[in-house]
Chains A and B, each alone.
Chain A
Amino acid sequence: AQSVTQLDSHVSVSEGTPVLLRCNYSSSYSPSLFWYVQHPNKGLQLLLKYTSAATLVKGINGFEAEFKKSETSFHLTKPSAHMSDAAEYFCVVRPFGGGGADGLTFGKGTHLIIQP
């Protein structure tokens, strides 16, 4: 079984400052990990994914995440926040090579607030 914990329900940063959204995972198999973003009243957009290749993953809109197996973490970062980054962010895990019949397991989400 797999699970994911997003350590902060809300994160507030000033525009132009770094963003850090924290995620820890638990998986019986080598996991695939994803970050999705959801703007208000919209569907989910894939930001980036980790599937056992490079541990530092670059995504869209300047976001990146680092897979750390020893810490079972997959934190999302961005060097400089923009007002348009304000949204809900979901860390998602899925077993890799485990049949994948479980679908996606979502964290509870982190609401990112950008202060002008």
Chain B
Amino acid sequence: DTEVTQTPKHLVMGMTNKKSLKCEQHMGHRAMYWYKQKAKKPPELMFVYSYEKLSINESVPSRFSPECPNSSLLNLHLHALQPEDSALYLCASSQDFSSGQSYEQYFGPGTRLTVT
């Protein structure tokens, strides 16, 4: 099974709301990623978790808060977002990168977020 699942598929939230995006994989991968993708642009890396520890934060505003409760789950907590945060949020996973090997990343279908 090479599936990464993401919920919800669509989310509309106001600027004062708090919401969470959820990502799950059961491939035994120990690295998980959040990307943000604006229309007609490539994905931009936001966060990387390796063995449930945050290893990369690409200078993402604090209104985005990631969490990795266990090796299969990755959450992205959202609070006080701005309309320009509207985008497709993609989750991905891979075996591991800390060993120096370069494993492919498997992507979920994404959550389409609209901030009003």
Contact = CB atoms under 8 A, between A and B. Distances in A.
Interface of A: 32, 34, 36, 41-46, 49, 51, 90, 94-101, 103-104, 106-109
Interface in B45-104: 45, 48, 55-56, 90, 92, 97-98, 100-102, 104
A43 B105 contact: no
Nearest to B9: A41
Interface of B: 4, 6, 33, 40-43, 45, 48, 55-56, 90, 92, 97-98, 100-102, 104-110, 112
Given A43-B109, A90-B42, A106-B42, A98 B104 contact: no
B104 A49 contact: yes
A109 B43 CA distance: 10
9 contacts: A41-B112, A43-B109, A44-B43, A44-B107, A98-B100, A101-B55, A103-B48, A104-B45, A108-B42
Contacts of A96: 100-102
Contacts of B104: 34, 46, 49
Given A107-B42, A108-B42, A100 B109 contact: no
Contact of B97 (A45, A51, A100): A100
A100 B33 contact: no
A101 B97 contact: yes
A45 B107 contact: yes
